[in-house]
Amino acid sequence: MKGMIKATYEDHMGDDLRVVNAARVSFGKRSEYHTYMDYSDGRTDDLGEPQGIFRKELKDADKRLIQFLARGCESREWQDNVDILWNGTNDHEIERILKWAKSMPTHWTPFGHTAITLIEEIPIFVARQRFKHTVGFVYNEISRRYVTEEPTFYHPEGYRMAAENKKQGSTDEVFYDESHHSARYFQISSENDAVAAYRSLLTMGVCAEQARMVLPQSMMTTYWVTGNLYSFAQAYKARSRPDAQKEIRDLAAEWDRIIRPLFPVSWSALVD
C-alpha cells in the first residue's frame, strides 16, 4: 500500500495578536484587533438592507511591530539598505550591508508564545531529517513495538539521478521509461520481501520490537508534533531551500499550507 507525504492540522494556540501582545508587555501595553463590518460583497437581507460580514485585522502599527520582531530592525532602515543594493554600490558597501543583516538581533520570544499541533505522515528516511529539528518541538510517534498492522510505503513519482556533488544529493533529472520501471520494480520487490520476512518473524513468535528490524526506510510513520511559530519558521526556512531533499521540501510545503492562514502576518514576516 502506498503512502503520501502529508501533514494534517490538529489544533493551535494563539494568533498574530498574541505575538503583538507578548512583545508589547515589555512596556505594559496591550493591543486589540481593528474590527469592522465589511459590506463589499453586496449581500442584503430579506428586506433588502445591506448585510455585512464582521471582520477583524491587525492595526498597521501592530503589523510593523511584527516586521520589526522578525527582522530585528525598523522597516525604514531595512528599506534604506535594500535601496542601496538595488541602486548599485561598491564591494565595501555590499559587505557592510551583508554584515549588518547577518548581525541583526532576532526578537524571537514573542513568536514563542504560540503552539501548533500537526499530525505528520512521512517515510522513515524523511522522518530522520525531520527529527533533527528539536528546539521548540515535541514529538510522539507511532511505535512498532506495539503496532503490527500492515505497513505502508512511500513510492516517489520519479527516481532522481545522483548528483556529482554528494552534498547536493540528487539532481532534477529523473529516470524515464524502462530505467524508471526497473527502479520501481526493485523497490517494490524488496518491500514485499521485507514484509514477508516481518510476518514470518511474527508468526514464529518473535516480538514485534525485534521483528520490525527487517522493515525498510521507505516505510511510512505517523507522529504528532507540536511546536511554536518561530520553531516552525526556522524549520521551514531550512527545509524549503532548493538544496534540501525534495521529499522534505514537500513536507515543508505542507507546513506553509497550514500555518500561513493561521498566522498570516507573522508567518510572512518570518519566512518570506
- The model's pLDDT over 206-250, given as tens digits with 9 standing for 90+, comes to 999 999 999 999 999 999 999 999 999 999 999 999 999 999 999
Q: Please give, one letter per residue, the 3-state secondary structure of the chain.
A: CEECCEEEEEEEECCHHHHHHHHHHHHCCCCCCEEEEECCCCCECCCCCECCEEEEECCHHHHHHHHHHHHCCCHHHHHHHHHHHHCCCCHHHHHHHHHHHHHCCCCCHHHHCCEEEEEEEEEHHHHHHHCCCCCCEEEEECCCCCCCCCCCEECCCCCEEECCCCCCCEEEEECCHHHHHHHHHHHHHHHHHHHHHHHHHHHHCCCHHHHHHHCCCCEEEEEEEEECHHHHHHHHHHHCCCCCCHHHHHHHHHHHHHHHHHCHHHHHHHHC
Q: Which three three-digit cell numbers place residue 158? A: 520519479
Average pLDDT, the chain: 90
Closest CA to 41 of 29, 31, 55, 30: 55
Cα–Cα dist 221/239, whole Å: 19
Lowest mean pLDDT, pick from 161-165, 180-184, 261-265: 161-165
Name the band, by pLDDT with cuts 50, 70 and 90, for residue 89.
Answer: low
pLDDT score, position 95: 76
CA atoms of 141 and 162, how far apart (whole Å): 31
- 98 vs 194, more confident: 194
Mean pLDDT of 163-191: 87
d(CA 258, CA 157): 23
Q: Which of 41-55, 59-73, 93-107, 227-241 has the highest mean pLDDT?
A: 227-241
Q: What angle do CA 259, 169, 237 make, to 5 degrees?
A: 25
Per-residue b or e along 16-29, where b marks 16 or more CB atoms closer than 10 Å to that residue's CB: bbbbbbbbeeeeee
Q: Closest Cα to residue 218, out of 126, 121, 120, 119?
A: 126
Phi, psi of 190 (to 5 degrees): -70, -35
Cβ burial of 251 (10 Å; 0-12, 13-18, 19+) is: buried
Residue 152 reports pLDDT greater than 70 = yes
Domain chopping of the chain, boundaries? 157-207
With a pLDDT cut of 70, the percent of the chain lying above it is 96
What is the pLDDT, as a whole number, of residue 28? 95
Cα–Cα distance between 42 and 51 in angstroms, integer?
Answer: 7
**Residue 106, C-alpha cell as written in the block:** 532576532
Query: What pLDDT does residue 102 have?
Result: 67
Tens of pLDDT, residues 99-136: 766 666 678 999 999 999 999 999 999 999 999 999 99
pLDDT at 193 over 90: yes
What pLDDT is attached to residue 198?
98
Q: How far apart are CA 49 and CA 256, in angstroms?
A: 39
> Rounded to whole angstroms, how far apart are CA atoms 257 and 208?
36
| pLDDT (average), residues 44-64 | 85
Give 192's pLDDT tier (boundaries 50, 70, 90): very high
pLDDT, mean of residues 162-191: 87
Q: Which of 12-16, 67-71, 190-194 has the lowest mean pLDDT?
A: 67-71
Give Cα 203 to chain centroid, integer Å.
Answer: 40
